[in-house]
Amino acid sequence: MENMHQRATQTLFDKQLITEEQYKQISSYRSLNIFSLNAELKIFLYLSVLLFTSGIGVLIYQNIDTIGHSIIISLIVIVTAICYYFSFKKAPPFQKNQMHFESSVMEYIVLTANLLTCILIGYLQIQYNTFGTNYGLATIIPTAIGLFSGYYFDNKNVLSLALMGLAAYIGLTVTPQSFLKNGLYDTNSLSYAATGLGIVLILWNCYSFKIKLKIHFALIFLTFALHLIGISCLNNIIDNNYYLLFSFILGIATYYFYNYSYQIKAVSLFIFTVLYGFIGLNITLFKIIDYLNLTDMFEIILILSPFYLIGAIFLFILLIKKFNSEIKK
């Protein structure tokens, strides 16, 4: 790694992009072997928040009969209020563009406050049936609070949590078991709702760019939109009689996200876009072959499939290389 950095510095100097004095300063700095622990510390902070909120859940479960509901609720409310108090106190004034707390620790306090809010509202609904049979309120209220907090405090983690709550509000379940059993969308209506939510997120992202509101959130919105539309379309291509319609929708989505990934230089968005498009294309082709009852072609497909996979992998590598070269310009 050190040699690679040294070669990069030498390349910059050879191309006269940095002066000799800058070259000496960079080389001198690298010789100190100083490295940043920022990422590691943030990981530990994130784990601390998860362990803390999980610990509260375990505490409630194990001592529900001895502590009492009112005491548990009071403790959660007090801790949540303290987290929100320091969040608002330390937060800079709201801005449309990206902003930061003076201390990155505050970002995790905001996350803790929102997780505790979810726990509190869920506890009230389960224990006291606060919202009656209107279970959607128990989901949409913490979601709305999360959306507000995500924008006001410029917190991507909280925004992601709120978007997951929004997906849960329309009835989507995202678990490994449901994915493996093809049960993310148990009904067509949920599948259509997922596609609709994905389109809404795209439209909101376009509107945000127009009014220049937190445009750095684009990757979050588009990632959620891509997965919602991609998985929903694949689900319908497999199980729906109107698979050609959803193949067309997936094709349009693939084209849109493919171009947008170049615009925001997001390699994760690019990779998943290509994967969804490739899987959807192959499923559609097999459905067409099956519909036309071209059973004789299956033997040819089996013979050519190894070459097809090798070619697809080779093409995928070329696309990644092209993407990396384009975004570095």
Give the pLDDT confidence score for residue 36 in this predicted structure.
61
For 102, other C-beta atoms within 10 Å of its C-beta total 9
Nearest to 227 by CA among 253, 251, 260: 253
What are the residue boundaries of the structural domains of the chain, listed by start? 1-36, 45-169, 190-329
**pLDDT of 12:** 73
The mean pLDDT of 104-122, rounded to a whole number, is 89
Of residues 211, 219, 212, the one with CA closest to residue 270: 219
What is the C-alpha separation between 233 and 231, in angstroms, rounded?
6
Please tell me the predicted confidence (pLDDT) of residue 74. 86
* Digit-coded pLDDT (tens) for 262-306: 998 899 999 999 999 999 999 998 888 888 777 667 777 778 888
Q: Which residues contact 190 (CB under 8 A, 6 or more apart)?
A: 170, 171, 172
> pLDDT tens-digit profile of 140-195?
999 999 999 999 999 999 999 999 999 888 876 544 444 445 455 455 667 888 89
Band of residue 37 on the pLDDT scale cut at 50, 70, 90: low
Q: pTM (2 decimals)? A: 0.81
Mean pLDDT, the chain, whole residue set: 83
pLDDT value of position 15: 73
Whether the predicted pLDDT of 230 surpasses 90? yes
Q: Is the CB of residue 258 less than 8 Å from the CB of residue 239?
A: no
Distance of CA 34 to the CA centre of its chain: 32
* Rounded average pLDDT over 93-121: 88
